[in-house]
Amino acid sequence: MSSSSRNFIADHVTGIPRSGIRDFFELVQTTTGVISLGVGEPDFATPWHIREAAIYALERGRTQYTSNLGLLKLRECICRYVDEKFGVRYDPKTQVLVAVGVSEALDLALRATLNPGDEVIYHEPCYVSYSPSVLLAHAKPVPVVCRAEDGFAVTAKAIEAVVTPRSKVLLLSFPTNPTGGTMTRQQLLEIAAVAIKHDLLVLTDEIYSELTFEGEHVSIASLPGMAERTIFLHGFSKAYAMTGFRIGYACGPTHLVDAMMKVHQYAIMCASIIAQEAAIEALTNGESATAEMREQYRMRRNFIVKALNDMGLSCHLPRGSFYAFPDITSTGLSSKDFAIRLLNEEKVACVPGGAFGPSGEGFLRCCFATAFDQIQVAMDRTAKFVDRCKKG
């Protein structure tokens, strides 16, 4: 094979860092006996009746392509669900697209709407893919910092402060990974006013909405004047423990969904029909299983947050998601050093807050989507580690 002096890799890809989560968990894979509070994945198996729907689809020979938009029956189920749970009505024939997870749905929305140099405002700390996804669409990510003292909510004032003539998209995700932050109706009304005033398109990723423990979950898409300027993103991974099925969806105005479909049909074509059949069953009969999982998460949340506070790591009580986000600055360690030492010395894996953006530095993401007895052991080990750190 002849050598080449050319790198061949695109400049905008070269500049994107690898995921801080995945890099950290390569370390975890080489350590035995680890209790993982790291990967944001439910520890519950997908409910049997949903798995059975996938098996039955295979047995019936349901192995073909579907419409680029997804099975019409699934889109009809999605529209009923979104209307009932979020108060927004969509046409299943033209305003819903079934994607390979919410990650693809977000990528489609960004690629279909952004021109080079457009600005996307988003709140941080946030899911690791947001800024890279914007960069891959040749646009500019503009972060707005959320603070622990505000419950990691984002304010309309902070958003408006970074608006420029190039601002085009506002990306929201509540409840938030990694902070568990949520928003009230009033806070969203104020943000909606900013979006309308500055003519911003809103992308709202609500994948953790069913895991809201207190208060009302409100979708910004349901507020006056917002449905026509919002792309609603959701999926099945968290509420139904269906991470490996890779099914998400986008709902929005017809012309925007049609533009997303153009990208989708050339890049992916369609999501797995087997996973789509399982998703129909989840939306039709999955509510009781979701409620049961949510109560388990609530119990784990209450325990882990109290344990973290008791050991001197200030931690707000997340109203949604399955993440606690304690402040570890009192130990004198950086987030990465804390996480690596906790892994090496106590065999507990958490994610450094810096993986979720610069504003996450000084924090640690602890996922409580793991067995309660394992969380108890992990907190005992973490308390010993923190005590050693504070004693020097």
Q: Is residue 56 part of a domain?
A: yes
Q: How many domains is the chain partitioned into structurally?
A: 2
How many Å separate Cα 165 from the centre of its chain?
Answer: 28
Same domain, 149 and 267: yes
Cα(193)–Cα(175) distance, integer angstroms: 21
Cα 30 to its chain centre, rounded Å, is 26
Residue 328 backbone class (left: φ over 0; alpha: ψ -120 to 50; beta: rest): alpha
Q: Domain boundary residue among 286, 321, 347? A: 286
Is residue 173 located within the same domain as residue 305? no
Pairing of strands 201-205, 351-352: unpaired
In this predicted structure, what is the pLDDT of residue 3? 64
Q: pLDDT tens digits, residue range 297-356?
A: 999 999 999 999 999 999 999 999 999 999 999 999 999 999 999 999 999 999 999 999
Integer Cα distance of 137 and 130 in angstroms: 11
At 181 the pLDDT is 96
Note down the domain range covering 317: 11-46+288-391
292/246 Cα distance (integer angstroms): 22
Q: Which of 242, 263, 286 is the last residue of a domain?
A: 286
Residue 330: CATH number of its domain: 3.90.1150.10
Q: What DSSP assignment string belongs to 294-311? A: HHHHHHHHHHHHHHHHHT
Q: Is residue 172 part of a domain?
A: yes
Q: Do 253 and 324 belong together in one domain? A: no
Q: Given this model, what pLDDT does residue 40 score?
A: 74
Read off the CATH number of the domain in which 69 is found: 3.40.640.10
- Domain co-membership, 171 together with 221: yes
**Degrees to nearest 5, angle at CA 248 with 243 and 251:** 160
Residues 234 and 319 in one domain: no
DSSP, collapsed to helix, strand or coil, labels residue 145 as strand
Which residue ranges in the chain fall short of pLDDT 50? 1
Q: How far apart are CA 109 and CA 272, in angstroms?
A: 20
The pLDDT value recorded for residue 23 is 64
Is 366 inside a domain boundary? yes
Q: Are residues 207 and 264 in the same domain?
A: yes
* 3 state SS of 333: coil
Residues 275 and 135 in one domain: yes
